[in-house]
Amino acid sequence: MSVKFTAVEIISAKRDKQELSDDQIDWTIEAYTKGIIADEQMSALLMAILLNGMNNREIFRWTDAMITSGEKMNWSMLDRPTVDKHSTGGVGDKITLPLAPLVAACGAAVPQLSGRGLGHTGGTLDKLESIKGWKASISNQEMLKVIQECGAVICAAGSGLAPADKKLYALRDVTGTVQAIPLIASSIMSKKIAEGTQALILDVKTGSGAFMSDPKDAGLLARTMVDLGKRAGVETRALVTAMDVPLGLTVGNSLEIRETIEVLSGGGPSDVVELTLILANEMLDAAKVKPKVDPATALKNGAAMDVWRRMIKAQGGDLSAPLPIAREKFEVKAATSGKLLTLDALKVGVSAWRLGAGRQKQGDTLQLGAGIEIHAKPGDLVKEGQSILTLHSDETSRFDRANEALSEAFTIGLENQKINRLPLIIERIEG
């Protein structure tokens, strides 16, 4: 590639709060992907972007350059419209698992490229790997076959998709530069646009357990991503949703698969069912699919469960094999009777992580049965001595650190006290 610029002049420009030109951005992404810009130079540039920001033109160009760094998938051979959903990550957020088969059962095609756990937040692929034999990495040909046969596929993004993001993401993770709106928006949208979906629903989490804890920042991130999708011709909408309290009653890989199966069997926790149905209706509407059967019925009558079974089997998963169960348990009990007022998503997420549900560093092996069962949510009445949380781990030695993370994770007040929590849906943004 041509030596148009030097990394130092680009870093200095952003350090001095200047706008980067289209040419500078294209060169930077290509040079970094090819190893011409070194990690230490890109680290400095990422920190300058985090501190000094980017305007919309710069974000659009940065995203386009990341898309151009790899292949673009194409689903035009399918006989139905494609739609995907992406969550920015949370605690107990297993929504993708019942949602993808549900939307497929209602008539859309769902090509869902998912990720692994990051920090205290869980990853869809890690959860699915607690099913014996299930394979996350499949070729583009296999992906097409699964979606043609089942209507939905959940798998890892291949190495050819937005390779610039793979390098940038790993670097951001270890340089304290994850939490920058231009970098999060371009990272997510480059992958989703390259994935080739026609419509996209973004679930932007906010609250203690989300990367964007302030709802205003989450709204700005959501608008930036909706604009990026619109520019690329993808019908994109975003919901800003609550992540101040964990979603559902389980946090941890196999525990969340168990809860997913409950939801697909027509039961499960009300918040998981409600958010799954809201997102399913948004996805079908964005894809302009008039469902033959409405999503609530497809959850109750087994149609979504049928797609789930076929989809898991197509990737080698054996649903008749028992799910991993952790060897040890520890009960966290209520010190007094009253109303549960709060349950902090971040503290529960960090505790589950320390129990072995998440990685401390890249490549760590997970304890697939580790995690937390939640027995009471804010608003519930509890009795002194009642178990509020059950901690699961293969090693009792992990319970002390997991318990430390739970200090003040929940509060119990008087029965007549009001609870103060975020509404499930905070904002809806349409392009």
- List contacts with ligand URA (CB under 6 A): 88-89, 115, 169, 178, 183-184, 187-188
Is 294 an annotated catalytic residue? no
Q: Looking at beta carbons only, is 188 or 372 nearer to ligand URA?
A: 188
Name the nearest CA neighbour of 101 among 248, 257, 264, 224. Answer: 264
**Residue 305 φ/ψ region, left for φ over 0, alpha for ψ in the -120 to 50 degree band, beta for the rest:** alpha
CA distances from 192 to 85, 221, 286, 415 (A): 9, 15, 15, 46
Q: Which residue has the tokens 């989300």?
A: 210
Is 86 an annotated catalytic residue? yes
> How many Cβ atoms from other residues are within 10 Å of residue 159's Cβ?
10
Is 392 an annotated catalytic residue? no
Residue 262 CB, nearest distance to ligand URA (Å)?
27
Residue 83 CB, nearest distance to ligand URA (Å)?
18
Residue 187 CB, nearest distance to ligand URA (Å)?
3
Residues forming a β-bridge with 153? 111
Catalytic site residue from 120, 127, 191, 205: 191
Q: Looking at beta carbons only, is 134 or 211 nearer to ligand URA?
A: 211
Catalytic site residue from 61, 94, 172, 392: 172
Catalytic site residue from 61, 86, 347, 398: 86
Catalytic site residue from 187, 190, 351, 393: 187
Q: Looking at beta carbons only, is 88 or 260 nearer to ligand URA?
A: 88
Q: Looking at beta carbons only, is 180 or 245 nearer to ligand URA?
A: 180
> CB–CB of 236/225 below 8 Å?
yes
Pairwise CA distance, residues 1 & 27, whole Å = 9
Residue 36 CB, nearest distance to ligand URA (Å)?
23
Residue 84 CB, nearest distance to ligand URA (Å)?
13
Q: Looking at beta carbons only, is 144 or 221 nearer to ligand URA?
A: 221
The alpha helices in 69-112, defined as continuous H runs, are 96-105
**Residue 159 φ/ψ region, left for φ over 0, alpha for ψ in the -120 to 50 degree band, beta for the rest:** alpha
Is 394 an annotated catalytic residue? no
Closest residue to ligand URA in the complex (CB):
187
CA distances from 263 to 30, 35, 97, 335 (A): 44, 46, 10, 31
Which residues are known to be catalytic? Answer: 86, 165, 172, 187, 191
